[in-house]
Structure 1
Amino acid sequence: MTSANAISQSWVLYLLECKNGAYYAGITNDLASRFSAHVAGKGARYTRANPPVKILATKPYPNRSTASVAEAQLKSLPRHKKLNFFEADI
């Protein structure tokens, strides 16, 4: 069984849909706080100008390094393949 503390220590790759319809991808070790920061205009520069409306997908990773690699892979994909990335085992 996974403890709540272990979950909070893992990293998450996330995909947001922004108000303008664009996708924004990022990584965090606290998704709720990071999403709140994006919504409040205190997140990334892109989401300050294009506020997110919802979280489309998430995928956990054991550490920041693997999450960063996955983020780079996700960002290299065309838009129509981004959601499928969260279904695949990479």
Structure 2
Amino acid sequence: MPHVYILKCNDCSYYVGSTWNLERRLAQHNAGEGATYTRRRKPVELVWAQEHDRVDTAFALEQQIQGWSRAKREALIEGRLMDLPGLSEAKSRQIRS
């Protein structure tokens, strides 16, 4: 099954990805075989993952989360799902100002 995941890198930044095999992909990131971004920031730690039935929905969510602010990603990681809409509204208000 496809997964969307968030890694916390050793510099405390976040990396968002998707994969068919979560365990293998995490091992690849930590072995320096993952994305260029994580190669320079390993070791990485899996902090959030979600399984999907379809690869297109997993990829769409990956793309969506990649566009999110750090605060919104942290709300997702911490399970504060009720905070997500407000974090989106706060960002859009800043853009309009």
TM-score range, shorter chain: 0.7 to 0.9
Aligned residues: 79
Q: Does structure 1 retain, via aligned residues, the 8 Å contact 2:30–2:42?
A: yes
| Uncovered stretches (5+) of structure 2, i.e. residues with no partner | 82-97
% identity of equivalent residues = 32
**Are positions 1:70 and 2:68 aligned together?**
no
Bigger Rg over Cα: 2
Task: Kindly report which structure 2 residues correspond to 1:1-90, keeping only aligned pairs within 5 A, or say none.
Answer: 10-85=1-76, 87=79, 88=81
Question: Greater helix percent: which structure?
Answer: 2
Give TM-score scaled by structure 1 length.
Answer: 0.80
Moved more, 77-86 or 38-47: 77-86
Q: CA RMSD in A?
A: 1.3
Deviation at 1:85, TM superposition (A): 3.6
Deviation at 1:80, TM superposition (A): 0.7
Q: Which amino acid aligns with 2:60?
A: V
| Uncovered stretches (5+) of structure 1, i.e. residues with no partner | 1-9
Q: Which runs of 4+ in 1 moved over 6 A?
A: none
Please list the CA deviations of residues 10-67 of structure 1 after superposition, one character each: whole Å capped at 9, or x if unmatched.
1110000000110001001100000000000001010111114311100111121111
Q: Does structure 2 retain, via aligned residues, the 8 Å contact 1:16–1:52?
A: no
Q: Does structure 2 retain, via aligned residues, the 8 Å contact 1:57–1:83?
A: no
Deviation at 1:84, TM superposition (A): 3.1
Q: Does structure 2 retain, via aligned residues, the 8 Å contact 1:74–1:85?
A: no
Give TM-score scaled by structure 2 length.
Answer: 0.75
